[in-house]
């Protein structure tokens, strides 16, 4: 084991214990026993631009996986009928799970401590809600109108046009006039700033953290440093 005392406040990748002051390479966490090389710690704190691109790619991949399952399963049932259930279970759902797992792995590797993974999960849940809310409202409203309008004596083509126009109008009114998801979007912006704070470059270590960013350590251990 070589190397002088580690001089940077860095949480253990496994438990969040502050590794500052430890000697040797790899550094052995006195809290959980995990050994992490200094090169790996430097890699985890890679260039900010690259880390943010990777973070966004991971989130996009997870969102794609969720939407694939949400849209692919009903589409398979609509196109293939009862046989679509087997197609959805054997193809669509497994593909969604694989994409979500890849995205989760990509996001998890960007953080030095366990707090980042939990924050990504919460951020992803709200992102999926925001992405899917308006399409689901439009789909439900359009389906209802498509079933009701023919009873008024209009042909099916007219029912389809009316359903589409009314659905788009209602969604537009919700978005631009009432904007019921504004607070949710603001919460997402704060959550993303917190994610960015957890992926800071080493040169930014002395910068004050973003308000609301979760700590990677327990409160009673935030300032504790293990002796060399």
Residue 15 lies in domain = 1-45
What per-residue confidence (pLDDT) applies to 209?
43
What per-residue confidence (pLDDT) applies to 225?
41
Residue-wise pLDDT for 163-198, tens only, equals 667 766 766 666 666 555 666 666 666 666 666 665
Mean pLDDT of 76-101: 81
Mean pLDDT of 29-57: 71
Higher pLDDT, 205 or 91: 91
What per-residue confidence (pLDDT) applies to 44?
63
Same domain, yes or no: 141 and 191: yes
Does position 221 have pLDDT exceeding 60, yes or no? no
Q: How confident is the model at residue 37 (pLDDT cuts 50, 70, 90)?
A: confident
Q: How confident is the model at residue 87 (pLDDT cuts 50, 70, 90)?
A: confident
- Split into its structural domains, the chain has a count of 3
What per-residue confidence (pLDDT) applies to 183?
66
Does position 61 have pLDDT exceeding 50, yes or no? yes
Same domain, yes or no: 63 and 40: no
Does position 203 have pLDDT exceeding 50, yes or no? no
Same domain, yes or no: 157 and 178: yes
- Output the average pLDDT for the chain: 67
Residue 118 lies in a domain: no
What per-residue confidence (pLDDT) applies to 144?
74
Residue 226 lies in a domain: no
Same domain, yes or no: 67 and 89: yes
Q: Closest by alpha carbon to 213, among 225, 227, 226, 200?
A: 200
Mean pLDDT of 17-43: 75
Residue 217 lies in a domain: no
Does position 205 have pLDDT exceeding 50, yes or no? no
Same domain, yes or no: 87 and 73: yes
Residue 218 lies in a domain: no
Mean pLDDT of 37-42: 73
Mean pLDDT of 110-129: 65
Using the structure block, give the residue that is written with the tokens 């590794």. Answer: 19
pTM of the shown model: 0.45
């Amino acid at each position: 084991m070589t190397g002088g005392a580690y001089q940077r406040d860095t949480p253990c990748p496994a438990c969040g214990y502050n590794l500052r002051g430890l000697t040797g390479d790899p550094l052995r966490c006195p809290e959980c026993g995990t050994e992490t090389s200094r090169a790996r710690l430097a890699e985890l704190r890679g260039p900010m631009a690259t880390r943010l691109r990777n973070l966004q790619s991971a989130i996009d991949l997870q969102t794609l996986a969720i939407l694939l399952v949400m849209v692919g399963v009903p589409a398979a049932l609509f196109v293939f009928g009862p046989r679509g259930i087997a197609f959805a279970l054997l193809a669509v759902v497994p593909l969604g799970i694989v994409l979500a797992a890849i995205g989760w792995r990509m996001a998890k590797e960007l953080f030095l401590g366990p707090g980042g993974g939990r924050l990504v999960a919460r951020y992803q849940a709200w992102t999926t809600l925001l992405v899917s809310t308006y399409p689901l409202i439009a789909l439900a409203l359009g389906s209802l109108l498509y079933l009701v309008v023919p009873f008024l004596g209009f042909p099916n083509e007219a029912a389809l046009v009316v359903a589409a126009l009314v659905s788009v109008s209602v969604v537009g009114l919700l978005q631009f006039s009432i904007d019921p998801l504004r607070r949710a979007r603001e919460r997402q912006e704060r959550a993303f700033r917190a994610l960015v704070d957890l992926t800071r470059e080493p040169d930014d270590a002395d910068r004050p953290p973003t308000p609301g960013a979760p700590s990677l350590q327990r409160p009673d251990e935030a300032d504790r440093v293990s002796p060399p």
